[in-house]
């Protein structure tokens, strides 16, 4: 942690001033509303491949995206990463011109100025001095921790990333919010080789807002998982209990929840929970919320991607659905309260290829996504969750998609163990689980008391009854 880098401030100031000017210009030319979203980020990333440092990347990206409305609800979006004033102002004019050729978005809305909370732990000054060699060192420590644990373990793939940046939202309704952020991330995937046997790949990750990521912990976790995967056996099909560990909950089960909770999906009736406010939709022991202001939370921010203050949103209580997640437009469409979940993240585009092609951040208009979707911790230790199971599977990771809307999950067990009479017997080769996620949420018989921070959620293990397990 040495060698200071030039600050982001110089480029930022001119970008911000030009965006401000562009908003005034389009309003003068007849726009009803205008908004600019700006970011400037620098990322240092190191990639691991086959036990070695494979590549080192430093990338720098800045840009501004404009949403401009005419006649109230006709909206155009244009963005540029050409950061001179002329290009920025032209980009806003382009958004204005597109808006004129567009049709009205019913209930289109931008937030008005509100008090922005101060969320601690979202910026770590130490990132300003982090050098590529520091990041290489973190990656190397993770590889060593994994491979020193057991000689059969090979660190196959991985990434260590440190990102530092600024974001700002300005709109013609008085919103002017700005914050700095830092994010660090480590992911390591490994496998084991012994005689003629190769284990499935096992992975672990850690996401932080501070520079304190723990490569040794991640490396060792991967190694432990790998070692536990030797000598897998095929199983017969049965219907039983599944204990989903946090990494499994954070993927397919999370996707099903998001599909049901997004305000835009509710407004267009794509959500399975579209008309279920006040109804029991999950087991009583499953208390779900979204916490955008969690101290040091990976998905926390002081304001969402259209400048509305972040907040904590209670979603279910005693199994009943209380509210959905909204940005300004979906809240307006459904006459509900804006929950500060406007997101320009690529994930907010769902499986739609559009967002993946154009990219996230300043390159896209906001959708809706959770910040830190949280399932409240239960009281079961990991061994309690499995010791009460007569026949079931312990699922560390699955692959396969949930069909958002219907909630259909049929996922391959990429890393799982058979449980019989309360004991975790052996790793499973092949096999799938299938069912409807929304039925599963009603059959949660146990919630773990340990949790894990994933990209968009913080969830414990869930034990679910009546899961169809298909043998390999």
Partner 1 sequence: MFEVLEKCLESKVASLADLVQIRGQRRFMSVCSVQNGFVEEFSNITLSGVGVRALVDKMSWGFSSTNTCDETNALKTLETAVKLAKASVKSKTQKIELEPIRGVVTDISARVRKPPSEASSEEIAQIPFQAYKGAKEAGPDIVNATASYIGIQDEKFFASSEGARIRQASTRVLLMVNAVARKTDVICPASETAGHTGGLELFDERQPYDIGKYVGLKAINLLSAKAPPSGKFRSVIQPNLCATLLHEAIGHPLEADLAMAGGGFGKQIGALASSKLITIYDDGSVPSGLGYFPYDDEGVKCERTVLIENGVLRSFMHDRTSAAATGVSPTGNSHAWDYSVEPLIRQTNIGIEPGDYKLEEMIEDISEGLLIEGTFGGQADSNADFTFGFQSARWIRKGETAELLRGANLAGNAIQVFKTIDAVSDKAVLRPGACGKYQFAVQGRIVPAIRCEITVGGTGG
Query: Minimal distance in Å, beta carbon 112 to partner 1?
Result: 23
The minimum distance between CB 99 and partner 1, in angstroms, equals 7
Cα separation, 358 vs 460, in Å, equals 34
- Separation of alpha carbons 274 and 200, rounded Å: 39
Is 386 within 8 Å of 471 (Cβ atoms)?
no
User: Out of 202, 328, 411, 437, which residue is the one contacting partner 1 (CB under 8 A)?
Assistant: 411
Give the whole-angstrom CA distance, residue 101 versus residue 95.
10
Residue 49 C-beta: closest distance to partner 1, Å? 6
Q: Which of 187, 253, 223 is nearest to 400 (CA)?
A: 253
SS3 225: helix
- The only residue of 1, 82, 280, 337 in contact with partner 1, by rule CB under 8 A: 82
Q: Is the dihedral of CA 136, 138, 141, 147 positive or negative?
A: negative
Q: β-pairing, 457-470 with 316-317?
A: unpaired
Residue 304 is encoded by which pair of tokens? 């969402």
Residue whose CB is less far from partner 1, 7 or 406: 406
Helix (H) or strand (E) holding 398: strand 391-399
Task: Single out the residue of 8, 23, 38, 79 in contact with partner 1 (rule: CB under 8 A).
Answer: 79
Binders in 441-470 for partner 1, by CB under 8 A: 468, 470
296 and 267 Cβ atoms separated by less than 8 Å: no
Query: Which helix (DSSP H) or strand (DSSP E) does residue 222 occupy?
Result: helix 215-227
Closest approach of Cβ 470 to partner 1, in Å?
A: 5
Which of these segments, 16-24, 174-182, 195-203, 379-387, binds partner 1 (CB under 8 A)?
A: 195-203
Task: Identify which of residues 187 and 303 has a Cβ nearer to partner 1 in the complex.
Answer: 187
Contacts with 140 (C-beta within 8 Å, 6 or more apart), sequence order? 53
142 binds partner 1 (CB under 8 A): no
Residue 78 interacting with partner 1 (CB under 8 A): yes
The residues in 236-275 that bind partner 1, with binding defined as CB under 8 A, are: 237, 268-270, 272
| Near partner 1 in 387-406, by CB under 8 A | 399-401, 403-406
CB of 140 to partner 1, least distance (A): 7
Stretch that binds partner 1, among 118-126, 128-136, 175-183, 210-218 (CB under 8 A): 128-136
d(CA 436, CA 226): 30
In whole angstroms, what is the distance from residue 365 CA to residue 173 CA? 17
Residue span 87-126 as binding mask against partner 1, x where in contact by CB under 8 A, dash where not? x---x--xx-xxx-xxxxxx--------------------
Segment contacting partner 1 (CB under 8 A): 30-38, 116-124, 387-395, 425-433? 425-433
The three-state secondary structure class of 52 is strand
Beta partners for residue 290, in sequence order: 313, 373
String marking each residue 274-313 x if it binds partner 1 according to CB under 8 A: ----------------------------------------
Q: What gap in Å lies between CA 362 and CA 238, rounded to an integer?
A: 48
Closest approach of partner 1 to the CB of residue 289, in Å: 25
Rounded Cα gap, residues 142 and 120, in angstroms: 28
Rounded Cα–Cα distance for residues 158 and 189 (Å): 6
Shortest Cβ 253–partner 1 spacing (Å): 15
Distance of closest approach, residue 81 Cβ to partner 1, in angstroms:
4
Antiparallel, parallel or unpaired: β 202-208 and 444-453: unpaired
Which of 35, 36, 63, 341 contacts partner 1 by CB under 8 A? 63
Q: Which of residues 1-60 bind partner 1 (CB under 8 A)?
A: 11, 46, 49-50, 52-53, 55-60
Number of Cα atoms under 13 Å in the Cβ half of residue 311: 17
Shortest distance, position 376 Cβ to partner 1, whole Å: 27
Encoded tokens for 208: 């932080």
How far is residue 28's CA from residue 70's CA, in Å, rounded to a whole number?
Answer: 12
Restricting to residues 349-368, which ones interact with partner 1 according to CB under 8 A? 351-354, 356-359, 363-365
- Out of 150, 412, 449, 466, which residue is the one contacting partner 1 (CB under 8 A)? 412
- In the complex with partner 1, the residue whose CB is nearer, 63 or 309, is 63
- Rule CB under 8 A: say whether 221 interacts with partner 1: no
């Amino acid at each position: 942690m040495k060698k200071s880098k030039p600050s982001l401030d110089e480029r930022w100031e001119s970008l911000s001033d030009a965006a401000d000017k562009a908003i005034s210009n389009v309003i003068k030319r007849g726009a009803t509303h205008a908004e600019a979203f700006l970011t400037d980020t620098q990322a240092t990333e190191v990639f691991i491949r086959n036990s070695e440092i494979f590549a080192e990347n430093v990338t720098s990206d800045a840009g501004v995206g404009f949403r401009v409305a005419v006649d109230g609800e006709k909206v155009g979006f244009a963005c540029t990463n050409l950061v001179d004033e002329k290009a920025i102002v032209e980009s806003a004019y382009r958004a204005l011109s597109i808006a004129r050729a567009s049709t009205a978005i019913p209930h289109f809305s931008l937030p008005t100025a509100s008090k922005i909370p101060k969320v601690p732990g979202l910026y770590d000054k130490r990132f300003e001095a982090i050098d590529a060699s520091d990041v290489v060192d973190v990656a190397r420590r993770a590889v060593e921790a994994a491979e020193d644990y057991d000689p059969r373990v090979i660190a196959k793939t991985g990434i260590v990333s440190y990102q530092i940046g600024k974001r700002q939202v300005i709109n013609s309704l008085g919103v002017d919010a700005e914050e700095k952020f830092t994010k660090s991330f480590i992911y390591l995937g490994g496998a084991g080789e012994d005689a003629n046997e190769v284990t499935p790949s096992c992975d672990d990750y850690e996401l932080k807002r501070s520079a304190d990521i723990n490569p040794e912990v991640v490396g060792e976790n991967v190694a432990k998982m790998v070692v536990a995967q030797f000598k897998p056996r095929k199983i017969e099909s049965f219907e039983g209990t599944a204990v989903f560990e946090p990494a499994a909950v954070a993927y397919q089960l999370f996707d099903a929840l998001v599909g049901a909770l997004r305000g835009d999906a509710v407004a267009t009736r794509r959500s399975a929970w579209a008309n279920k406010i006040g109804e029991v939709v999950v087991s009583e022991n499953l208390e779900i919320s979204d916490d955008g202001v969690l101290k040091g939370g990976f998905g926390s921010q002081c304001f969402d991607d259209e400048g509305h203050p972040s907040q904590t949103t209670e979603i279910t209580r005693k199994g009943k659905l209380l509210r959905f997640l909204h940005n300004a437009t979906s809240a307006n469409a459904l006459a509900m309260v804006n929950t500060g979940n406007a997101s320009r993240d690529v994930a907010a585009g769902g499986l739609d290829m559009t967002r993946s092609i154009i990219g996230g951040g300043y390159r896209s208009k906001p959708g809706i996504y959770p910040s830190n979707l949280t399932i409240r911790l239960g009281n079961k230790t990991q061994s309690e969750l499995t010791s009460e199971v007569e026949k079931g599977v312990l699922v560390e990771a699955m692959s396969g998609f949930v069909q958002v809307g219907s909630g259909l999950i049929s996922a391959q067990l990429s890393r799982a163990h058979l449980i019989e009479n309360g004991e975790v017997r052996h790793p499973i080769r092949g096999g799938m689980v299938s069912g409807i996620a929304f039925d599963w949420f009603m059959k949660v018989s146990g919630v773990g008391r340990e949790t894990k921070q994933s990209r968009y959620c913080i969830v414990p293990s869930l034990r679910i009854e009546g899961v169809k397990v298909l043998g390999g």
